[in-house]
A and B are shown apart, each in its own frame.
Chain A
């Protein structure tokens, strides 16, 4: 059984981003880029399934510019067998990304697609659900545990009030939440090995997918900053200020 894992190249989660002076977007020139952390968890889970002999092949896929090859090499270093880059310079909305992924699914015929539950750049949280809907597959988002048994899969999901368990039959799409696993670090030998693993590049335009723009960004602004606060010396003065200054208690 084959698993497809989708990964996105994003600004590293530790980078403090800045809005461009012309408000056209955020300044990512020169920023450290990494694999979206939730996608890294998805890769780790796929590799674990392979190590448990539940999966025979793990294929990593990314939609993005040529630079996304680094992120795919990262997935290969974590244990993916091969990689596919659907190359495009365009900043695509989730719907278009999902349509490209659907085209890749049709080429690769995986039984399971794993992705992060959201990308930490645009925080949309749509791609997995959209891909599942385009394929007319079942879905389990925000997974914190995956139990695969033959063609059936049981997923524990993080929901607002706690946890929910859902049953799906394969093929299916599962999106990874934080507590699904802790991704391993790529070892140097595995990073070297990853350089030799196959990485195919497909032009997005060649997949005959409707990629018309769907969302126009009018402007990007800094949120209004909070005014500077004060340090209080002790609990008594804190209570005093909460009561008499802020009047919240």
Chain B
């Protein structure tokens, strides 16, 4: 009985969150396979075959999966599932979308967003925006699990797994992707960056967010934002860090003009080092910050950028 990890990719590159999911999968059992479903996705399958701990790559290359719907992906995964003890994927927007449908197809519960594996059937997951950690045992025969990337290191390179090509089942056509509007950025990916500089409502405008960008450029950092800054339209939703946005745990997180609502802390409090810059000394962000600077961000941030030069 092996472990099946469903890869997330864009037909060109494997998303880094899949590497964290593989690390979690390796802790669940010895025989870890990766499913790559896409269109012209041979490069992704080749990358997957070199991931350490992976013993087989299953590749399904078909028009249906060019921009795959959650309905069709769940049908495919369920058709491959017999023989696997665990079905695993990263708890990203992509994974969260299709995985519950796989659980239904197998008539088993799903364990979402695990941050620890204590036994093949026992997992640790945050609840209440990370205010508590629950240890839960999955009672069903097959475990369907989504993995929070920040809970596990990325699997190293070094594998050399065979690639097996599978035929695609028919799509169901229940939904169709019309298009995507993606935020393009030359900066590192938010969830995988070593440094994140995040701005809050105090920035005041999308124009003012440029001082965050300048600091991020200096540090080769990704840019993040609080919900308030996204709601106000300063930046796109792709930047949101928090309970309902992205969960990040970089080596350095610099929170600028972010008060630190529990929903925001849920997305970044596992960062190795937290710096907070806020003019309100009572802001809750200072309770989780390793270094706090009470200052006007419009002076402090450009000064910090200059100091780093």
Contact = CB atoms under 8 A, between A and B. Distances in A.
B219 interface: yes
A175 to B, nearest CB: 10
B8 to A, nearest CB: 9
B275 interface: yes
B138 A161 contact: no
A242 interface: yes
B177 interface: yes
Contact of B174 (A138, A159, A231, A238): A138
B237 A179 contact: yes
Nearest to A156: B181
A17 B291 contact: no
B74 interface: yes
A69 interface: no
Contacts of B246: 160
Given A166-B177, A179-B231, A94 B275 contact: no
Given A140-B175, A249-B219, A162 B101 contact: no
A246 B179 contact: no
A153 to B, nearest CB: 10
Interface residues of B, number: 86
B93 interface: yes
A125 B288 CA distance: 27
A150 interface: no
Contacts of B294: 231
Contacts of B295: 234-235
B162 interface: no
B134 interface: yes
A249 B128 contact: no
B270 to A, nearest CB: 9
B186 interface: no
Contact of B273 (A124, A163, A246): A246
Contacts of A161: 180, 182-183, 238
A54 to B, nearest CB: 20
A123 B227 contact: no
A26 B127 contact: yes
Given A133-B105, A168-B174, A248-B251, A223 B238 contact: no
Interface in B199-257: 219, 227, 230-231, 236-238, 243-244, 246, 251-252
A222 B96 CA distance: 25
Given A94-B110, A166-B175, A166-B178, A215 B238 contact: no
Contacts of A246: 252, 273, 290-291
Interface stretch (B30-38, B53-61, B301-309): B301-309
A235 B295 CA distance: 9
A144 B236 CA distance: 12
Contacts of A132: 71, 101
Contacts of A242: 252, 275, 291
B297 to A, nearest CB: 11
Interface of B: 69-71, 74, 92-94, 96-101, 103-105, 107-113, 122, 126-140, 172, 174-183, 191, 195, 219, 227, 230-231, 236-238, 243-244, 246, 251-252, 262-263, 269, 272-275, 281, 286, 288-295, 300, 303-304, 307-308
8 contacts: A123-B113, A123-B127, A129-B97, A179-B230, A218-B137, A238-B293, A239-B304, A246-B291
Interface of A: 11, 13, 16-17, 19, 26, 38, 93-95, 98, 117-118, 120-130, 132-134, 136-142, 144, 154, 158-169, 172, 177-179, 213-223, 226-227, 229-232, 234-236, 238-239, 241-242, 246, 248-249
Given A223-B131, A248-B251, 11 more contacts: A26-B131, A129-B70, A138-B174, A139-B101, A141-B70, A160-B238, A162-B181, A162-B236, A216-B136, A217-B135, A246-B290
